Amino acid sequence: MTNPAEQQPPAPQPVSAVPAAGYAPPPGYAPPPGGYAAPPGYGYPPAGMRRPVPVGPGGAPLAEFWQRLVAYIIDGLIVTAAILIPMLLLFALVFVPFVTSIEHGATPDPLFVLPVWALLSVMIAALNVVASYVYFVRMCHRTGQTIGKRVMKIRVVRAFDGGPVDLRALKRRWVVQHVSALVAAYFNLADGLWQLWDQPYRQCLHDKCAETVVVQVAA
């Protein structure tokens, strides 16, 4: 007879909690990636933020189109008023006696009327040029500002360093802006609108010819 103890199966070996050497533990799951990046915007800054204001060569903010337009209107009214007073005096000196003589039955002489009209037109144009030059060149030479620019808190400066503009540059600026407008009727309009698409300094054509930039002045 066989020994019962010899027929018992061997006892099971204890299972180790540590995996056998050579078997790496299963890789864990990596943490999910960060949130999805926001899609690129369409030119609008994030909420609560403003677009950066374009600045001139000296670091001052560039003048806005509406500031330059309002300053131009103010300056135009001032120059027109300055010209209107001498014009009225000329009309009074020349045409009041002429009209009075007609009322008393005198017959106007065409050889007199035409030269007088021509002379008066030349004098008015000369007054316009002189008043415009004094106002936009001489006055602007002191501080870079006319009265209109002072009201709107803007100033003309050099385009390459933001410094004061010299008299020669102001003369070029004035010739392109005002004298050229007398020759080409629509040049003044194109000149003023040029700043709307000009980069990087929002220059008009007369600014480009004179190498000037119009910037805002700190209040």
Contact 160, 69 (CB under 8 A): no
Q: Please tell me the least confidently modeled range out of 28-37, 123-132, 174-183.
A: 28-37
pLDDT in tens, 82-95: 999 888 888 787 77
- Residue 7: predicted pLDDT: 54
- Residue 184: predicted pLDDT: 80
CA dihedral 178, 183, 187, 191 (to 10 degrees): -20
- Residue 42: predicted pLDDT: 46
User: Which of the four pLDDT bands, split at 50, 70 and 90, describes residue 98?
Assistant: confident
What are the domain boundaries of the chain? 65-216
Work out the average pLDDT over 31-55. 58
Is the pLDDT at 62 greater than 90? The verdict is yes
- Record the tokens describing residue 210, joined without a space: 């004179």
Work out the average pLDDT over 104-121. 73
pLDDT in tens, 169-214: 999 999 999 888 777 878 889 999 999 999 999 999 999 999 999 9
Percent composition of the chain: helix, strand, coil (DSSP 3-state, to 5):
55, 5, 40
For the chain, how far is it from start to end, CA to CA, in angstroms? 119
